[in-house]
Structure 1
């Protein structure tokens, strides 16, 4: 913490910091007019360093004593206010960017016009080991040429998109995500008409590419909410989207991207989901009834009967197949769904879409249980090595279970883990 160290201004306006960590370590940064050069001490000599000095303008004032705060404030105030404002959102390579503009004043114009682009170049330069002079030359090119160097695409739309992006903390992770995402022309085109683009939107598309061009993405990001809030919100939307895709295939429909992209809000998404659940479960109800009616038909006649049942038994080959057994096993009130017939019956009884999960269960990607008490619920469990996760837990009609039911399920998982 800097309040345990010493920060002061030198005679020439440089900021001198002495770190007390068992033995004194000193570094200094020359002022803005002297190019923000960064020096460290070695054997009583000041050595020029090319390394980034770390976050520069984002220091917490609470970490300073009053004299130190005054020294830092005087030093920082030498940097022109528009430049400080332009770099304030970057926590990664901020000092390198400031130092470059201090040493090459002609770059001030592009920094104020396109701070994100300048930051991306500085970050890229760190990985590519470019010299400061090479970075300065690149930043004097046309912006379309600069983005071509970074992303391999020469595009005015990309230039506009880079300017629209609202970073959350300007971290190295955000830089790496942008470097990957902005090489995709679908991403560039998708945000063409957005006034601003949150990093949250890019993170969502990175995890769920089918949200590209989705009106839901445009309408449902809440700007004044945290990134965690938005990601959890879209995780729920994603779960519904996944269910819709499964129902779509189970109903033997041709994939129509326009159906998904036209959904404007969560209410419309839920309405479409519920409509298809009803249609699917009605189909399953008829199929199971037809199968039951044919139980007594001799096997050599059954195929002909199936062919004449107007596709009610489309998935007949799955009906008698058992799913892999879950290591958790069964309890009196926590019972694994064993086959496709039971799965369809669970979906019909609970009025949700679990009946469309056959392929997932056959591939052992998850297991489905029915919880009988304290509430009747359906549970999806995934096991990866020693990690057990409950990915879905729903009452009838996809309603949320009570705290008592959550506590009961946690206890079941805990008891299993303690036994193993």
Structure 2
């Protein structure tokens, strides 16, 4: 999607989002209706945005410009031409880029919401419209999101149809739930309502919640072995929960590894360690290597085993991997960030950068990962991952030998991604 065709404005209490061949209108609080159409002659249809509406707002302090010697002749010329009592010349405003206009529009949408509402919604990475509508309906009972945000998320999904529209029909089921305790709400939603289950639910970080995870919580919270692990962790994120949902992979992890997963910020929105363990298990099965008795404490040991297995697995599966067909890249490349469009390109990248990126071929073909070659500011390999909800996020960004990149390189990649994604 061309960057100049992705834009946003906020006016008349409405967020306008312009995409290629599509226009979206999202009414601000408390209306919260959302419609879109694909061309000028199409009808407006209701929809729910697949991107976050409430963005973090952190204004940058602009340093005061210091006068430079180069400014002196220009100022002297103005002093000679203008009379002493002339009004000051208006300051020229720099033209905003599309990314700056989008930020300004989403900031305005955020400011249209009450501060407590925006504060409660901001940590979630998706489904903001159902969440906003639920908080509109709960009113003073919105403090559920302060003590158990994951339960609030599940409640929003359960009532998303009846909450839709600017004047939703009164749902007596929701009215009855407003005065109930958390265990009673969980029971009404069909979730396990034991004390351990309620406590575990309260530990889930909002950034980890997605519809996929919500659908697996009933099974997870009924698993006594999983509850025992969750009881010893200070918090729960998507990485830990994904690992707990697979008993075979769970058996390979030690409590130390679970603690490391919970402490890793990126594991909140993508289960890197669980995916790495799943890849290891798949390659080990194909190579006839038994890892069932292994217990992993550190991610670096996982990475080392992955690299060892990936070399043999790539040779074993070379013919099949070459037959993989990659989808188009989710974000257009540039001269400095180049998408790798074929398995052979991954093999060559892994050889040059001394990493195991060739093992990602099947994930790229499956549509949840894409690999790019980064040429500047540093030579690096980038993986984009599709997090639950559909948006693409930076996964791994590493120099040769899996060494970390500089802050400048990470900022350059993030700026490129934000140019093309809402």
Q: TM-score, with normalisation over the residues of structure 2?
A: 0.47
Task: Report which of the two structures shows the higher radius of gyration computed on alpha carbons.
Answer: 1
Tell which has more relative contact order, 1 or 2 (C-alpha 8 A, sep 6+). 2
Q: TM-score, with normalisation over the residues of structure 1?
A: 0.48
